[in-house]
Structure 1
Amino acid sequence: MSLSAQLWSDNADVASEILAHPFVRGIADGTLPRVRFATYIAQDAFFLESFARAYALALARSPDTATLLALADLITGVREELALHASYAESWGIDMAGVEPLDATSAYTEFLLATAGTQDVGVIYAAMTPCMRLYAWLGQSIDADRAGPYAQWVQTYADPEFEKIARVLEGLLDDQAADSPAVRRAYRRAMRLELAFFDAA
């Protein structure tokens, strides 16, 4: 079993807790109040900008051309996610200007940027992979036909292209990270921060 698969398996408890979370269940059955989703979209856009910066810090330390190009593609993926959020903002009247991060958002972004700025690339990938793998898994676990106004959100993360992007990051983790306590701590910490993010939304 690859390292990325082992880490995902070892954190299945948190993933299951997130899938069963009332916020996620509200997306899945289309009953989540729109005002809560609007708050989540604004917070997630703020988070994604820090996620892109963490990729950029990893890119600056990329050991070879293949890694550099892979990270550039991953940054492009974040740009596409931000475009989805912008489309929600436009159609739903969500004010994205001057978003003040919630405590859970700040905790997650600070963790990512501190990790990207101080740790080796293997630990950086371990801190970033849970977000990508979790969202791909959520998209594949939820029926878009039942999600009502949130069908587009589900379809985005269920798309095979998003799965492909998640696997690119997992490939970097598998190729460049050791199975170390630091890697395992970073992965687990990111999973717990994902749960806290949904708690706060």
Structure 2
Amino acid sequence: MKLWLFLIAFGLVSVSLECSTVKPPEVSLSDYLWQETVQQRQAALASSFIQGLKMVSLDPTNFGAYMVQDSVYCYLVKTNLDLAATRVKNNSQLKQFLEARSSSYEKYYKALFKAWHISNANGISLGTAIAGYMKHLDNVASKMDPIYLVAALIPCARLWPWLGGQIGADTGNFGVYNKWVTENLNPGSHGYEKYEAVINNAAEQGLIDSQMALQVYTRSMQGEVGFFSSV
């Protein structure tokens, strides 16, 4: 018998069992939301848009239809960020974050409007999928605490680089879509971390409910899936 077993057997030493009851550290709110939406991101990966890019079989007309609507999406997200910023109370950091993101989205939509010759967003007829997605974001921006709009926008920011990693955006050949894929589905993009830092900080301060955040986050993931599957 080994010495330590002999000592334990005769009560000469005691063994603490505390290690068996120590709980692992809880995951951050952002990682919890990501882990809980595996099904949605797999559906996005299997969507007609993403698979069409991967197989270089996406109809150019469908790509154009997607891009015109995505241009309007960026425009409307900018307006949602502006609205949410005006509704922030006693949280200057959140207000500044929303205003900074608004400036970014303004650059996005203006560049897209120029590329796709769009002069008026109201002249674009949105499909059912993106219209439903925008209705969700409108509701979050106008009726919920502004912190939830940050949670609602993370799926877009984090899903796209993940999708790029799954289809080899940095190494694959996507034909005429090469430039768009490498720029928009870049696996090395970490812009979503800025959003996640905001909600994780809010969670630490008890300023955001995890289940409510999950509902908002999941609905945005579903919006991404629906939009990708609409072409």
Of the candidates 161, 164, 187, which is equivalent to residue 136 of structure 1? 161
**Aligned to 2:229, what secondary structure does the other structure show?**
helix
Q: 1:160 to 1:134 in 2, by over 3 A?
A: closer
1:155 alignment partner in structure 2: 182
Structure 2 CA distance, aligned partners of 1:181 and 1:117? 19
More helix per residue: 1 or 2? 1
- Matched pairs, number: 197
Q: 1:46 to 1:80 in 2, by over 3 A?
A: same
Of the candidates 81, 88, 92, which is equivalent to residue 55 of structure 1? 81
| Cα displacement (A) at 1:130 | 1.1
Of the candidates 103, 106, 117, which is equivalent to residue 131 of structure 2? 106
Of the candidates 207, 210, 214, which is equivalent to residue 184 of structure 1? 214
| Cα displacement (A) at 1:186 | 0.9
**Aligned to 1:40, what secondary structure does the other structure show?**
helix
User: Which shifted more, 33-42 or 185-194?
Assistant: 185-194
Percent identity over the alignment? 26
| Cα displacement (A) at 1:80 | 3.8
2:94 alignment partner in structure 1: 67
Q: 1:119 to 1:78 in 2, by over 3 A?
A: same
1:126-155 deviations in Å (ceiling 9; x for gaps): 222111111222233333441122222222
Structure 2 CA distance, aligned partners of 1:48 and 1:35? 20
Structure 2 CA distance, aligned partners of 1:7 and 1:174? 11
Please list every run of 5 or more consecutive structure 1 residues that lacks an aligned counterpart in the other structure: none
1:2 alignment partner in structure 2: 28
1:197 alignment partner in structure 2: 227
| Cα displacement (A) at 1:162 | 4.4
| Cα displacement (A) at 1:101 | 0.9
| Cα displacement (A) at 1:45 | 1.2
Amino acid at match of 2:142: G
TM-score for both structures, normalised by structure 2 = 0.75
| Cα displacement (A) at 1:160 | 7.5
1:76 alignment partner in structure 2: 103
| Cα displacement (A) at 1:161 | 8.0
